[in-house]
Structure formats: structure tokens, C-alpha cells
């Protein structure tokens, strides 16, 4: 077993260890054992940092990949399939090592931060335990080498998110939120599960490698519609986890959880898992599937941005911006800007975590006041927070010199290229939405900064009757609080909460990722995470057969030139029409080959898209800069120079305003349709069950009661017990027949003679005829 594998296993198990220790013994350990959690995570981060170093820095190889697996379930020699095992395994490549480092780092910082933020909570120890199990499951997703394992950890992440959202379970809102989150995720998961099933049913394996290889070999037995369906269904998992439209509704509510949790789970890592998963399955997604993904991403980005404009809760704004940014990543994957999307994943993780932790600091300082309308002027009181928060905001808005600029620009560039290649039309909607959302982002983040940090403190403006919007525990305090008191009660947070902010803010600077502040492609990240070659070609598995000749055994995400045959050679190996296709795109592929440091895409369409994406790089920069500038200017116009009064505008466009304020009414719609619907259905069925299926027990009983002959001679319970009509007839026939027993012996004799006579007639007639 490779040493890195062993290390990664250690990393994986360490948080689990922390969970086990803390869940059982937190009451017995000093400080409820928070130092254990922090210490363990520190160790984990150290190891993953080492892995990161070895993989990315030392062996600077885009194709780096090591894997290890073991048999988990052995189904023996299955008839028709042969020996069948379900394996579990670990894979380490560039992406994994980067994610590993990122997750452990943020988790470590959140642990550290929480020691300050959660201090004094009565379930302090349990909180760290939950953080531990979450980190464990997240690392599991990152490390898994097969769909089944990913699904398992996927669910576990859902569980830990459930536990953490509902950490303050006495609050009904929290309880609702956690249930909502879990169910929404489940809906996504069944889609993902079906996708997994489609692939398994064809290849009898869950392992990525074998699925890639089989698809490349064109072993997919079903029609291409199924393959596309598989892609979209798998993507549904991402829709759930990464809060994409239409399953985004749970994420804003998830803010009921402790703020550090929001930073860790609902901003940086878990929601990113969806994107990570799509990246893992990227090369088996058919173009149709990719189109769906791209559009969903674009819609999400735009919708969330529009909603974020009008929210007043500081965390909700960030939540919707998270949704929006996740939309960007998904969009990026959809348009084939693979590297860019993942790049954005990482950068976003850092600056969004920074923003959340910052907001946490603010809330902490403001005594759990979350409504931005009653904040303001915090700049003076919390300089550290202000600085870091602003830097992260700039990154989020995508201003130059920030990490966010690099990644977002790359995505948008990819979108433009994609639209070009797909032949414009409706496909231009995607970049357009992308740019528009960029502007909105800049606007609402500007708004937030201004409302929170500039101007004067507005705590005193807070009307007492608004108290239902905020914590019961504090509104009394706030209502008699005068400006003076409010102003002085606010103070900068302690070091253990400040340090994470600084670190995260530092990681939002462009220099970390790329020497060129304008082009992420020049950075190590995008070099290390190049877009892999698809194995399903243009909605045609057979196309993938180009690769089988050589590369099938070890299909790393990418295929270096050295190993891949020239297109011509490939063309000989494949059918004529695909040969023509390749030939048609020949120069594109070739030129692209030089441009991109020797990566070769056997699927011409993909090659073209990547190429066009790079071509569109500068266009994207110009447009996006303009849009962002527009957004910031608007924010200034509205909130700094007060040229436009937000209230008035809101009244002016009231329907739109309400539409945005009420989050496009998605909750209401779901409440009215899905939830209400299933509840009603359940009620109906259970009624049906007790009344109809249960043999019309009541009906039978009633009929029997009504039945003339029925006297109390028959036990009601048995009558009820008879769950069908035959029983009913049995009774009644019994009631009728027993009347024959008149008690008069002469009638008995008559009966006998009648019987004899009847039989006689019967047989006599039979005799004659």
C-alpha cells in the first residue's frame, strides 16, 4: 500500500476518532474535550498538508494518480455474472489532495473558531463530536474511488448536516430546518441513487475506473437516453447537496445552525461536495446532460442573486450568495469549464468561509442580532473583522487581484466559448445570466458591507414590536438599550476567532493561485486540474472507443500526449464517420494541442469547447469587470450617496420586490404542492386502509346488524373479525339455514321426504336424458 494511501486513511479516520471520543466522554473531559477536536483536526491538517505538498508541489504531474481498494462485500460466484465483489477504495490524485487540504484546513479553522463562538453552550462537547463526524464523512466523499462509497458518505454528510443544523433543537425553527434539509437532500439522493443503479445494472461495478473503462469501450447496453438520464440523475445528487434550483430551499433555512457550522458545511465544504461529485463523473456526462447542468447552474446563480438583494438577515444574504456561487460552479461544469469550476470551488470555499466566520463574529459581538438593518458603524469597533470581511467580499464580488476574480472569470470565459461552439441562440443565455449575476453579486455585497460596517449604529432604531424577528432571549436587552450602550457593548472578538478570519482572508488573494492576477490558467491549480477527456463523446458511447485501444486500463481524468495515439491513428481504430468527425476538427484539436501544453481531446466537440473557452478569456474579463463595476456603483448610488431611496424603489416595483423578498415563493409552492400533497395522499391511503381494505369491517358489521335474522346469538367480534364478504354470506346463510331447524319433528320428516323425492326426480331425469 502506497504510503500516501496509508496517510490518507489516517486522515480519514482521525475525525471519526474525535467523534467517538467526544460523543461518549465529552462530559468527563476537561473543557468538554474541545482541545481534542482541535488537536485531532490539527494533526489531520498537518498530514493532508504533507500529502498536498508531495502530490502538488513535488510530483508536479497532472496525471498523478494512486489508488487502493479492498473487497467489502463478496457476493460469490453469481450466476450469469461470475465472481462479483463490491469494493471500497481510496484514490489520491491532484484534485483529491487539494480537496483534502482544503477541507481539513477549513475544518480546523472552524474548530478553532468554535472554541470561542460556542463557548458556554450546554452541549459544547457534543457540538465538536458532530463536527468530527461531519469532517469524517466529507473526507470520505473526497477520497472514495467508487460511486457506492460516495453515496454512503454522501448520506453521512447529510446526517451530520442534519445533526448540526438542529443543534439548537429546542428551537422549532431549527427542528424544521434540519428535517427540511435532510428531506430535500434525500430527494436529490434518490436521483443520484437511480443514476448509480443505471450504471451498475450495466457494468456490475461501482468503481469509477471500471465504469470509465466500460463506457469508453462502449459496453453500455442500454440506449443513449439512458446514459443521459444516468448523468442527469447523478447530477440530481448535486442538486440536492449543492442546493441547486429547484432543491435550493433548504440551504437558507440551514442558517438556523450555529454560524461556524454554516461556514464549514453550508458554505465551504458540504455544499461543494455536489460540485466535486459532478467533477468526478464529468467525463461520463453526455452533452445533453451537460446542457441541462449548465442551464440549471445559470438559473440558480441568477435566482439566488436576485433573492439575495432584498434579504435583511446577514446570514441569509450570505446563504443566497452561496447558492448563487454554487450555481456558478455547476454552470462551469455544465459548459465544460471543468478546471475553472473546481478552481472556483476552492477559492469560494475560502472566502465564503471567511465571510461566514466574519458574520459570526459580528453576530457574536452584536449579541445575536442578525438583522443588518439594525447594525452599522461596526468598522470602528471591529477593525480586524472589517478588514477580512471586506477582502473576502471583494473576492466574492470578483474584483481583480482576488482569487474570486480568477476563478469566476475562467468560468464565464468557458461559458462564452461554450455558447459559441453550441451555435449561440439560447445558449448565450448562460453567459448572459452569469454576467448579470456577477453584477448583482457586486451590488448586494456592497450593500451588505455598507449596512454593516459604515454609517452609524442603528441598534436604537430597532422597534420593540419587531422583536419576533430576533431572538427572544435578547430583544428585552435590545429594547432598553440606548445608542451609547449598544455602541460600547460591541467589541472585537478574541484571538481564537480572529485568527481563522485572517488566514482565510489571506487565502483569498490571487497570488496564492496564480502569478498572473488576470489569468488563472497560468496558475498551478488549473495546470494541475486540467479538463479530463470525456469517454462518451457526442452522445455516442462508441466514440469513446477511440480510447480503449491504449488508455482504458488507467484512465486518469486526463490523458497525456505521450500515451494517447494521434487522432489519425485513433481514427483508423474506429468507424469511418467518427474518423470523419475527428478529421473535421483536426486542426482545432491540433492547435489546441499546442495551446494547452499537450493535452489532447479525442472528442472533437470537447476539444473545441475548451479551445473556445480559452479564446474567450479576455472578452470575459472585460465584460465581467464592467458588470462588477456597475454593481458596485449601483450599491454606492443607493446606499452611500443615497441618490436612490431603496424604500421608494421597493414601493415602485413592489411586485418584483416582494417576489425577491419572498424567495420567489418556492417554499410556499412546495408547501402547497409536494408536502401538502403527500400528506393528503397519506391521509387518504390510511383512511382507505382502515375502511376499504380492511374488508369493510364496519360495513359488514352494519349489514349484519341490519340483517333481519341476526339476533344476539352471534359474537359481534367475530362478525367484525370477518374481513371479507364470504364471511358475511357465511353468517347470513347460517342465519337462514338454521331456520330449517323448526323444532317440529313432523317438518323434519317432511324435509326427509322432500329430499328423497328431490333426489329421485334428479336422478330420474338424469336417467331419462
The residue among 361, 485, 350, 476 whose CA lies nearest residue 404 is: 350
* Distances, alpha carbon 404 to alpha carbons 329, 394, 516, in Å: 12, 8, 13
Within 175-204, which residues bind another protein (CB under 8 A)? Answer: 175-176, 179, 182-183, 186-187, 189-190, 193-194, 197-198, 200-201, 204
> In angstroms, rounded to a whole number, what is the distance separating the alpha carbons of residues 102 and 553?
30
The answer to the question of residue 686 lying near another protein (CB under 8 A) is: yes
Q: Binder to another protein among 480, 643, 740, 769 (CB under 8 A)?
A: 740
* CB nearer to another protein: pick between 668 and 689: 689
* CB nearer to another protein: pick between 57 and 756: 756
The answer to the question of residue 735 lying near another protein (CB under 8 A) is: yes
CB-based contact 583:569 (threshold 8 Å)? no
* CB nearer to another protein: pick between 424 and 713: 713
The residue among 99, 100, 106, 69 whose CA lies nearest residue 85 is: 69
The residue among 152, 147, 242, 240 whose CA lies nearest residue 198 is: 147
Minimal distance in Å, beta carbon 733 to another protein?
Answer: 6
Within 450-489, which residues bind another protein (CB under 8 A)? Answer: none
The answer to the question of residue 73 lying near another protein (CB under 8 A) is: yes
Q: What is the total count of residues that contact another protein (CB under 8 A)?
A: 90
Within 13 A of 44's CA, how many CA atoms are on the CB side? Answer: 32
> In angstroms, rounded to a whole number, what is the distance separating the alpha carbons of residues 293 and 277?
13
CA dihedral 134, 136, 140, 142 (to 10 degrees): 70
CB neighbour class for 465 (10 Å; exposed up to 12, middle 13-18, buried from 19): exposed
Q: Binder to another protein among 689, 698, 702, 725 (CB under 8 A)?
A: 689
* CB nearer to another protein: pick between 171 and 522: 171
* Straight-line distance from the first to the last Cα atom of the chain, in angstroms, rounded to the nearest whole number: 93
Minimal distance in Å, beta carbon 720 to another protein?
Answer: 6
Q: Binder to another protein among 463, 553, 745, 769 (CB under 8 A)?
A: 745
Neighbours of 670 (CB within 10 A): 17
The answer to the question of residue 671 lying near another protein (CB under 8 A) is: no
The answer to the question of residue 169 lying near another protein (CB under 8 A) is: yes
* 317: enclosing H helix or E strand: helix 314-334
Neighbours of 468 (CB within 10 A): 7
> In angstroms, rounded to a whole number, what is the distance separating the alpha carbons of residues 85 and 67?
17
C-alpha cell at 383: 477593525
Within 378-417, which residues bind another protein (CB under 8 A)? Answer: none
Q: Binder to another protein among 20, 66, 159, 509 (CB under 8 A)?
A: 159
Given the rule CB under 8 A, which of 147-155, 272-280, 336-344, 417-425 is the region that contacts another protein?
147-155
Q: Furthest-apart CA pair in the chain: how many Å?
A: 120
> In angstroms, rounded to a whole number, what is the distance separating the alpha carbons of residues 539 and 493?
55
The answer to the question of residue 120 lying near another protein (CB under 8 A) is: no
The answer to the question of residue 75 lying near another protein (CB under 8 A) is: yes
Q: Binder to another protein among 28, 120, 172, 480 (CB under 8 A)?
A: 172
CB proximity list for 111: less than 8 A, separation 6 or greater: 34, 37, 38, 41, 128, 131
* CB nearer to another protein: pick between 21 and 620: 21
Minimal distance in Å, beta carbon 114 to another protein?
Answer: 21
* CB nearer to another protein: pick between 89 and 431: 89
Within 705-734, which residues bind another protein (CB under 8 A)? Answer: 713-715, 717-718, 720-723, 730-731, 733-734
* CB nearer to another protein: pick between 159 and 590: 159
* CB nearer to another protein: pick between 566 and 751: 751
Backbone angles phi, psi at 281, to 5 degrees: -95, 10
Given the rule CB under 8 A, which of 54-62, 93-101, 146-154, 475-483 is the region that contacts another protein?
146-154
C-alpha cell at 349: 470555499
* CB nearer to another protein: pick between 170 and 482: 170
* CB nearer to another protein: pick between 566 and 675: 675
Minimal distance in Å, beta carbon 529 to another protein?
Answer: 28
- Angle at the Cα of 122 from the Cα atoms of 119 and 124, rounded to 5 degrees: 50
The answer to the question of residue 677 lying near another protein (CB under 8 A) is: no
Minimal distance in Å, beta carbon 678 to another protein?
Answer: 7
Minimal distance in Å, beta carbon 215 to another protein?
Answer: 17
The answer to the question of residue 766 lying near another protein (CB under 8 A) is: yes
* CB nearer to another protein: pick between 43 and 732: 732
Residue-wise DSSP of 729-749: HHHHHHHHHGGG--S-HHHHH
The answer to the question of residue 685 lying near another protein (CB under 8 A) is: yes
CB-based contact 77:34 (threshold 8 Å)? no
* CB nearer to another protein: pick between 669 and 682: 682
In three state form, how does the secondary structure of 704-732 look? HHHCCCCCCCCCHHHHHHCCCHHHHHHHH
Q: Binder to another protein among 156, 432, 487, 549 (CB under 8 A)?
A: 156
* CB nearer to another protein: pick between 77 and 576: 77
Q: Give the residue carrying C-alpha cell 460523543.
A: 23
Minimal distance in Å, beta carbon 539 to another protein?
Answer: 22
Neighbours of 693 (CB within 10 A): 11
The answer to the question of residue 760 lying near another protein (CB under 8 A) is: yes
Minimal distance in Å, beta carbon 70 to another protein?
Answer: 11
Minimal distance in Å, beta carbon 600 to another protein?
Answer: 36
Within 426-455, which residues bind another protein (CB under 8 A)? Answer: none
Backbone angles phi, psi at 692, to 5 degrees: -90, -60
Minimal distance in Å, beta carbon 217 to another protein?
Answer: 19
* CB nearer to another protein: pick between 576 and 746: 746
Q: Give the residue carrying C-alpha cell 321426504.
A: 753
- DSSP-derived secondary structure letter, 516: S
The answer to the question of residue 647 lying near another protein (CB under 8 A) is: no
The residue among 133, 154, 161, 141 whose CA lies nearest residue 17 is: 133
Given the rule CB under 8 A, which of 299-307, 394-402, 413-421, 685-693 is the region that contacts another protein?
685-693
Minimal distance in Å, beta carbon 314 to another protein?
Answer: 26
Amino acid at each position: 500500500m502506497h504510503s500516501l494511501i496509508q496517510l490518507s486513511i489516517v486522515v480519514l479516520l482521525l475525525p471519526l476518532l474525535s467523534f467517538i471520543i467526544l460523543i461518549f466522554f465529552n462530559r468527563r473531559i476537561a473543557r468538554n474535550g474541545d482541545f481534542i477536536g482541535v488537536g485531532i483536526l490539527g494533526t489531520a491538517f498537518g498530514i493532508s498538508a504533507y500529502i498536498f505538498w508531495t502530490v502538488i508541489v513535488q510530483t508536479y504531474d497532472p496525471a498523478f494518480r494512486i489508488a487502493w481498494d479492498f473487497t467489502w462485500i463478496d457476493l460469490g460466484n453469481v450466476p450469469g455474472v461470475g465472481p462479483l465483489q463490491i469494493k471500497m477504495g481510496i484514490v489520491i490524485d491532484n484534485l483529491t489532495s487539494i480537496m483534502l487540504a482544503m477541507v481539513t484546513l477549513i475544518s480546523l479553522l472552524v474548530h478553532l473558531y468554535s472554541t470561542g463562538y460556542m463557548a458556554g453552550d450546554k452541549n459544547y462537547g457534543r457540538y465538536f463530536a458532530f463536527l468530527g463526524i461531519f469532517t469524517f464523512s466529507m473526507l470520505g466523499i473526497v477520497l472514495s474511488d467508487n460511486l457506492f462509497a460516495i453515496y454512503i458518505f454522501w448520506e453521512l454528510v447529510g446526517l451530520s448536516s442534519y445533526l448540526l443544523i438542529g443543534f439548537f433543537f429546542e428551537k422549532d425553527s431549527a427542528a424544521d430546518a434540519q428535517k427540511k434539509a435532510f428531506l430535500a437532500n434525500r430527494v436529490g439522493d434518490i436521483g443520484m441513487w437511480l443514476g448509480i443503479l443505471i450504471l451498475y445494472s450495466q457494468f456490475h461495478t461501482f468503481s469509477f475506473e471500471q465504469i470509465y473503462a466500460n463506457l469508453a469501450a462502449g459496453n453500455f447496453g442500454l440506449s443513449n437516453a439512458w446514459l443521459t438520464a444516468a448523468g442527469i440523475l447523478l447530477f440530481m445528487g448535486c442538486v440536492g447537496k449543492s442546493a441547486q434550483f429547484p432543491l435550493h430551499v433548504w440551504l437558507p433555512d440551514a442558517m438556523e445552525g450555529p454560524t461556524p457550522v454554516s461556514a464549514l458545511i453550508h458554505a465551504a465544504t458540504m455544499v461543494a461536495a455536489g460540485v466535486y461529485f459532478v467533477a468526478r463523473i464529468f467525463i461520463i456526462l453526455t452533452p445533453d446532460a451537460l446542457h441541462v447542468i449548465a442551464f440549471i447552474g445559470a438559473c440558480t446563480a441568477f435566482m439566488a442573486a436576485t433573492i439575495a438583494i432584498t434579504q435583511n438577515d446577514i446570514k441569509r444574504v450570505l446563504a443566497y450568495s452561496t447558492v448563487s456561487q454554487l450555481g456558478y460552479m455547476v454552470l462551469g461544469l455544465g459548459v465544460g469549464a471543468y478546471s475553472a469550476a473546481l478552481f472556483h470551488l476552492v477559492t469560494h470555499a475560502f472566502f465564503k468561509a471567511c465571510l461566514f466566520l466574519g458574520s459570526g463574529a459580528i453576530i457574536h459581538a452584536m449579541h445575536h442580532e442578525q438583522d443588518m438593518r439594525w447594525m452599522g458603524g461596526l468598522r470602528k469597533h471591529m477593525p480586524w473583522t472589517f478588514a477580512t470581511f471586506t477582502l473576502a467580499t471583494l473576492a466574492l464580488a470578483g474584483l481583480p487581484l482576488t482569487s474570486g476574480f480568477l476563478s469566476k472569470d475562467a468560468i464565464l470565459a468557458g461559458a462564452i466559448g461554450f455558447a459559441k461552439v453550441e451555435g449561440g441562440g439560447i445558449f448565450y443565455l448562460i453567459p448572459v445570466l452569469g454576467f448579470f449575476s456577477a453584477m448583482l453579486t457586486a451590488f448586494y455585497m456592497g450593500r451588505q458591507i455598507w449596512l454593516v460596517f459604515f454609517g452609524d449604529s442603528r441598534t436604537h432604531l430597532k422597534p420593540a414590536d419587531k422583536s419576533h424577528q430576533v431572538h427572544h432571549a435578547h430583544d428585552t436587552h435590545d429594547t432598553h438599550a440606548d445608542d451609547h450602550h449598544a455602541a460600547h457593548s460591541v467589541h472585537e472578538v478574541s484571538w481564537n476567532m480572529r485568527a481563522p478570519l485572517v488566514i482565510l482572508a489571506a487565502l483569498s488573494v490571487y497570488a496564492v493561485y496564480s502569478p498572473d492576477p488576470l489569468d488563472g490558467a497560468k496558475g498551478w491549480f488549473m495546470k494541475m486540474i486540467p479538463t479530463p477527456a470525456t469517454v462518451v463523446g457526442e452522445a455516442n458511447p462508441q466514440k469513446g472507443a477511440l480510447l480503449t485501444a491504449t488508455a482504458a486500463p488507467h484512465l486518469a481524468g486526463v490523458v497525456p500526449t505521450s500515451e494517447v495515439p494521434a487522432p489519425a491513428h485513433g481514427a483508423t481504430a474506429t468507424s469511418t464517420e467518427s474518423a470523419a468527425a475527428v478529421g473535421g476538427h483536426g486542426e482545432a484539436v491540433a492547435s489546441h494541442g499546442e495551446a494547452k501544453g499537450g493535452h489532447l481531446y479525442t472528442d472533437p466537440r470537447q476539444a473545441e469547447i475548451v479551445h473556445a473557452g480559452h479564446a474567450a478569456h479576455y472578452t470575459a474579463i472585460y465584460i465581467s469587470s464592467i458588470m462588477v463595476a456597475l454593481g458596485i456603483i449601483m450599491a454606492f448610488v443607493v446606499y452611500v450617496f443615497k441618490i436612490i431611496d431603496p424604500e421608494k424603489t421597493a414601493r415602485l416595483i413592489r411586485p418584483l420586490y416582494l417576489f425577491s423578498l419572498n424567495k420567489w415563493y418556492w417554499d410556499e409552492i412546495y408547501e402547497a404542492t409536494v408536502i401538502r400533497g403527500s400528506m393528503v395522499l397519506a391521509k387518504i391511503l390510511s383512511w382507505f386502509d382502515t375502511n376499504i381494505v380492511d374488508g369493510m369491517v364496519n360495513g359488514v358489521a352494519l349489514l349484519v346488524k341490519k340483517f333481519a335474522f341476526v339476533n344476539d346469538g352471534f359474537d359481534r367480534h367475530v362478525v367484525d373479525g370477518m374481513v371479507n364478504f364470504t364471511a358475511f354470506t357465511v353468517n347470513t346463510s347460517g342465519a337462514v339455514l338454521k331456520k330449517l331447524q323448526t323444532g317440529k319433528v313432523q317438518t323434519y320428516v317432511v324435509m326427509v321426504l322432500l329430499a328423497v323425492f328431490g333426489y329421485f326426480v334428479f336422478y330420474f331425469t338424469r336417467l331419462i336424458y
